[in-house]
Amino acid sequence: MRLGFNGATSMNYDLETDIRLAQKAGFELLEIWAAKLNKYLEASSLESLKQLFEEANIKPYSINSIEFITFKEGEDYEKIKSECKRLAAIAKELACPKIVVVPSPTPEGATEEDVIAESVKVLRELSEIAAEYDVDLAFEFLGFPHISVSTLGLCWKIVRETDRPNIGLVLDTFHFHAGGSSLDEIDGVDKDKIFIFHINDAEARERSELEDAHRLFPGEGVIPLKDILERLHRIGYDDMVSIELFRPEYWELPADELGARSFESVSRVLRGIYR
Ligand code: ZN
């Protein structure tokens, strides 16, 4: 299992720091936070970024993210498509294989059938754009009640129906827990369609109250990570895992400490199952 670090975990630090932090802590992969990428490119070139990754021996794994891709119309939808094209061109240049895409809130009155039809339509259109650059799109369900795709089961149904080689899903343990996905939902998923696995833990709160800021280092909260990992192991998933925390308190930590605690906490929960 390759270990990755997600730029949301260190939101206050820039992309250069993320690369250094990931290297120092022992990670192999970095998920690039898109806003940091944009900031970097304002002042420096893509070529220099590529060099930074190479020198650190860190592989860029994804760009996070294009948010709320579904239920957009007219100019708003054109913006999603052009952002997909822009990020896919950058990803190709960086040899970064994936981009994370996120479903929208449920419009009033929309049924599950509407959500499936809309998601499949949009993912197929974006799939074509990304395929021109040999980039994969990873659809990430969010376990919040107002989001149109909030469980692993529905996300997998959509990805399966979309049926494109470059469309897969993100399994994020926080969203898995917050949205009430069941462990049995993991069993039905094709392991090769889990493009990204985000790991994190959560405070003991009512699921409906959970927010991104309640994420904790793996092993410090109430999510049954061992059970999730065992199920993933059982379906043969062993590709990568990336730590993604959105906890403002952690953003204040010195970069090296944040990197080290991230690496240690992920390694600890994997132990006995994956390494
Ligand atoms: Zn995530």
Exposure string of 129-153, with b = 16+ CB inside 10 Å and e = fewer, is bbbebebbbbbbbbbbeebbbbbbb
In a domain, 259, yes or no: yes
Predicted structure pTM score: 0.98
Domain range holding 7?
2-270
Long-range (24+ apart) CB contacts under 8 A made by 248-254 are 248/11, 248/213, 250/9, 250/10, 250/217, 251/10, 251/11, 251/12, 251/13, 252/12
CA–centroid distance, residue 65 to ligand 1 (Å) = 10
Residue-level pLDDT at 172: 98
Q: How far apart are CA 207 and CA 210, in angstroms?
A: 5
CA–centroid distance, residue 90 to ligand 1 (Å) = 21
pLDDT tens for the 275 residues of the chain, in order: 999 999 999 999 999 999 999 999 999 999 999 999 999 999 999 999 999 999 999 999 999 999 999 999 999 999 999 999 999 999 999 999 999 999 999 999 999 999 999 999 999 999 999 999 999 999 999 999 999 999 999 999 999 999 999 999 999 999 999 999 999 999 999 999 999 999 999 999 999 999 999 999 999 999 999 999 999 999 999 999 999 999 999 999 999 999 999 999 999 999 989 97
CA–centroid distance, residue 140 to ligand 1 (Å) = 7
Task: Decide if 190 contacts 155 (C-beta within 8 A).
Answer: no
Residue-level pLDDT at 128: 98
Residue-level pLDDT at 164: 98
Q: How far apart are CA 23 and CA 259, in angstroms?
A: 9
In a domain, 155, yes or no: yes
CA–centroid distance, residue 253 to ligand 1 (Å) = 21
In a domain, 275, yes or no: no
Residue-level pLDDT at 198: 98
Q: Residue 123 sits in a domain of what CATH number?
A: 3.20.20.150
In a domain, 14, yes or no: yes
Q: How far apart are CA 226 and CA 247, in angstroms?
A: 22
CA–centroid distance, residue 194 to ligand 1 (Å) = 12
CA–centroid distance, residue 200 to ligand 1 (Å) = 9
CA–centroid distance, residue 242 to ligand 1 (Å) = 9
Start-end of H helices in the chain: 15-25, 34-43, 46-56, 74-94, 112-131, 152-162, 173-178, 183-187, 225-234, 248-251, 255-270
Q: Which residues are within 8 A (CB) of 224 and not within 5 positions of it... i.e. 6 or more apart? A: 177, 183
In a domain, 159, yes or no: yes
- State the total domains in the chain: 1
Residue-level pLDDT at 61: 98
